[in-house]
Structure 1
């Protein structure tokens, strides 16, 4: 039976970069006139991430998924990798979506046809970098084979022989005449051995001039770094001041909270005292006066006694 699913590529290639993820895109081509459901499995699920790992491909259409390899902490010794991927596909009904896909669909029970295609993994190492001079912090640094930069000693950049600049300037004038004057005048002024010697001595001077220009080009970078350092220090000082103000504000808020609590307690105690005083005042009024019933009884008894003693 011919394959119902075509995979491109059949071998996954990942570029190896330390502390950086690498990804590879895989295309699935449905060759049939029916809907296909697929599922992607791997032997190292913690090392790779597949998005999406399941899906439905329409008839005569293409579907893509991405395989992401997690960042490596150490560089591999070689490009051989034993990790493998397995792509399973089976025919499903029209209208099937990703949420309807289950693991039972890819079980070979003798009734449903499940196609399985294996994929290998290949690691691609970066090409070795050639040593080069890198300007860092106003200094020339050289990168070795492992990409680690190392500082170049300034003594290596100095000329082998020190030359008196004033003496060279005196010797340059005859050379100018040699370039622009007649050949007879040149031959009469400067011998050939002196000319060759001056040429050898001028070359280190040119190198020194180039080095001085390189150093001068690094000076603005240092000044910019100094300004950046000053800005950082100012920001740190402002941040420290804000922290001090924040701490003072917290202390003030805590003091106000404590004062508010004390005021509330004093108000409650005053309310209790006022209530106590009101009750005592009512009791005192009752004790100081005579009850109305007692007064009525006394008046009634007085009237009866008056009528009794009346002739």
Structure 2
């Protein structure tokens, strides 16, 4: 696998994080991570500003040809950034893992660049938008899906999108329940 974009282990949608910025209010952006391979792929999310963001899950294993949703939450901020510009960045690392690997069983060195395994990286920039420039609510989350239409192709895409969201929510709920039990 090469990192030329066509042979990526995973693809991420959207490819930028956009947060509606309001003082004293948290904001979130969902990332959909799609495993493009027949292998199990582990991922890890890193950021240049870990105190500003809450990422769940920040590590995980995506089944072959499946997807996972990562929710990135911008914590409530007390002041506006200069010119509403954000220099924060996120790094999504991915690597192939054995098929029986559970997220809790990932070795601590899974994402170390020691040359023993290939680690692919995807960089994501952060943008702040004001509530007035947000437009309609379709701007949040999964905007790469086509607009709702009446042709059967877009209806089936929307149904698949809803199924993907439901499955991701169920997986996330199960994972949170497991974390609570620990």
Aligned: 1:99 with 2:72:
no
SS of 1:64's equivalent? Answer: strand
Is the contact between residue 54 and residue 101 of structure 1 (CA under 8 Å) also seen in structure 2? no
In structure 2, distance between residues paired with 1:79 and 1:57: 34
1:13 equivalent to 2:18? Answer: yes
Q: Larger helix proportion, structure 1 or 2? A: 1
1:35 Cα offset (Å): 0.2
Q: Cα gap change, 1:103/1:84 in structure 2, threshold over 3 Å: closer, same or farther?
A: farther
Which of 38, 49, 52 pairs up with 1:47? 52
Are the counterparts in 2 of residues 29 and 63 from structure 1 also a CA contact under 8 Å? yes
Q: Is the Cα–Cα contact under 8 Å of residues 51 and 66 in structure 1 kept in the other structure?
A: yes
Partner of 2:88: 83
Deviation at 1:108, TM superposition (A): 1.9
Q: Which residue of 2 aligns with 1:63?
A: 68
Q: Is 1:26 the equivalent of 2:31?
A: yes
> What per-residue deviation string (whole Å, max 9, x for no partner) do you get for residues 104-123 of structure 1?
01112223111011100000
- The structure, 1 or 2, with the larger RCO (C-alpha pairs under 8 Å, 6+ apart) is 2
Which residues in structure 2 correspond to 1:138-149 (within 5 Å)? none
- Indicate the structure (1 or 2) with the bigger Cα radius of gyration: 1
TM-score w.r.t. length of structure 2: 0.67
Q: Show structure 2 runs of 5+ residues with no match.
A: 134-182
Name the CA distance, whole Å, in 2 between partners of 1:102 and 1:80.
Answer: 37
Offset of residue 3 of structure 1: 1.1
> Runs ≥4 in structure 1, deviation > 3 angstroms?
none
Matches within 5 A, 1:1-311: 1=2, 2-127=7-132
Distance 1:10 1:3 in 2: 14
- The TM-score normalised by the length of structure 1 is 0.40
| Count of residues in correspondence between the two structures | 128
Higher strand share: 2
For structure 1, the 5+ residue unaligned runs are 129-311
Task: Give the Cα separation in 1 of the matches to 2:127 and 2:49.
Answer: 14
Query: What is the rounded CA distance, in whole Å, between the counterparts of 2:55 and 2:20 in structure 1?
Result: 17
Secondary structure of the 2:123 match is strand
Q: Which residue of 2 aligns with 1:232?
A: none
- 1:67 shift after superposition: 0.3
Q: Report what 2:145 is aligned to.
A: none
